[in-house]
């Protein structure tokens, strides 16, 4: 998924374990040594840092809850923009070099996700259009934050050795932000093929593409419910004449402004669409809790200047908003392991006051 923070850099991945006995999945931390969580974070336990420095984000579990695939940008690894990597949480051994690279190392990538069976992933890439990274839009004169929506993004299926098995999309324009149903049978993704940024579903092999949403605005970052019947996603809904004008002008330039987004939930076919949050500012990166009765997401609605993002949960009827993390800068991209025991997320905590965003894993406490 496209990131809401533009100032995230990467240096190295350090992850120490030696076999299952000392793996991050099994090694416990005594309460008095659980120093990577804040005092009010009562739903997190045994918080462990997986990466140390730079830009690490959008880490998503394998179906067996043992591996993680993520995107990272690290010049020391020979990359100029995001590429896709993975590591095995039970067998990863500390080393100075990068973890296994799955993407081609060309172009820019985003939004990787495991398929059922844990042997293949999907991800979006621009590598077929050019080997170099696509240009990043210049900072706006008014200082407002924008996301590039690269028209050369397409979705690919790859094995863990980096061999592309199949190209799943082949229409003009942006196709990205793909995730897989916990049932293993469907993919949801964002595409501009209709002229607007809408959600679509398709089979694992790319067949039977069906449009899910059809309202003006950016629909993206969708995830399935645990039973595979619902979708949770972020969306902008410009309504005033000025907002509609700005949205359409930016979209024509291949850009969106993600500073005003709310969460929506619907059935997989798009029916029973409901707005879940009404918080203002940017609410995004949602994911269903293991029981399917709540959603966890990142939001800056409580930040006076909009720079502080933390994780929150909310019931599917919009009640029961609860703050989960208490970082002073940035927490986002939460995902629960398929066994429901752990959560992985990206955070600026414990970075010495710089802009590094790292991956953290913790036990989840109901």
Is 277 a residue whose pLDDT tops 60?
yes
DSSP bridge pairs for 186: 203
Q: Please give the structure tokens belonging to residue 109.
A: 């990538």
What is the distance, to the nearest Å, from the Cα of residue 168 to the centroid of all Cα atoms in its chain? 20
Using CA atoms, how far apart are residues 255 and 165, in angstroms rounded to an integer?
Answer: 30
How large is the average pLDDT for residues 275-288?
A: 98
124-182: pLDDT as tens digits: 999 999 999 999 988 888 878 899 999 999 999 999 999 999 999 999 999 999 999 99
Using CA atoms, how far apart are residues 244 and 227, in angstroms rounded to an integer?
Answer: 35
**In what order do the strands lie in the sheet containing 83-88?**
10-12, 52-61, 67-73, 83-88
Q: Which of 357, 350, 352, 344 minimizes the C-alpha distance to 62?
A: 344
Q: Where are the domains of the chain?
A: 10-364
Burial class (CB in 10 A: 0-12, 13-18, 19+), 164: middle
Q: What is the pTM of this model?
A: 0.92
Q: What is the CATH number of domain 10-364?
A: 2.120.10.30
Q: How confident is the model at residue 239 (pLDDT cuts 50, 70, 90)?
A: very high
5-54: pLDDT as tens digits: 443 333 233 222 333 445 778 776 665 578 999 999 999 999 999 988 77
Using CA atoms, how far apart are residues 152 and 171, in angstroms rounded to an integer?
Answer: 10
């Amino acid at each position: 998924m496209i990131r809401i923070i533009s100032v995230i850099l990467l240096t190295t991945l350090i992850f120490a374990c030696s076999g299952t006995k000392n793996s991050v999945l099994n090694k416990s931390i005594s309460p008095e040594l659980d120093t990577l969580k804040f005092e009010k974070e009562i739903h997190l336990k045994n918080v462990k840092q997986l990466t140390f420095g730079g830009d690490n984000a959008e880490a998503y579990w394998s179906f067996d809850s043992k591996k993680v695939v993520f995107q990272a940008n690290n010049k020391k690894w020979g990359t100029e923009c995001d590429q896709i990597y993975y590591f095995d949480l039970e067998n990863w051994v500390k080393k100075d070099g990068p973890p296994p690279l799955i993407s081609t190392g060309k172009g820019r990538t985003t939004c990787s996700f495991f398929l059922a069976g844990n042997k293949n992933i999907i991800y979006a890439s621009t590598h077929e259009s050019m080997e170099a990274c696509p240009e990043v839009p210049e900072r706006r004169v008014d200082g407002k934050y924008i996301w590039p929506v690269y028209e050369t993004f397409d979705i690919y299926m790859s094995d863990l050795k980096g061999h592309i098995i199949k190209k799943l999309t082949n229409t003009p324009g942006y196709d990205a932000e793909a995730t897989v149903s916990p049932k293993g049978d469907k993919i949801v993704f964002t595409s501009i093929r209709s002229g607007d940024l809408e959600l679509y579903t398709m089979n694992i092999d790319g067949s039977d593409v069906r449009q899910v949403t059809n309202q003006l605005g950016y629909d993206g970052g969708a995830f399935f419910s645990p039973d595979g019947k619902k979708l949770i996603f972020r969306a902008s809904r410009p309504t005033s004449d000025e907002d509609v004008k700005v949205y359409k002008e930016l979209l024509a330039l291949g850009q969106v402004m993600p500073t005003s987004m709310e969460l929506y939930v619907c059935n997989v076919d798009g029916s029973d669409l409901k707005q879940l949050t009404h918080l203002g500012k940017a609410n995004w990166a949602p994911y269903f809790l293991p029981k399917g009765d709540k959603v966890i997401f990142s939001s800056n609605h409580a930040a006076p200047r909009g720079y502080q993002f933390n994780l929150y949960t909310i019931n599917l009827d919009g009640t029961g908003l609860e703050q989960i993390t208490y970082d002073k800068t940035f927490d986002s991209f939460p995902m629960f392991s398929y066994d429901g025991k752990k959560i992985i997320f990206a955070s600026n905590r414990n970075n010495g006051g710089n802009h590094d965003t790292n991956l953290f894993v913790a036990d989840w406490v109901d």
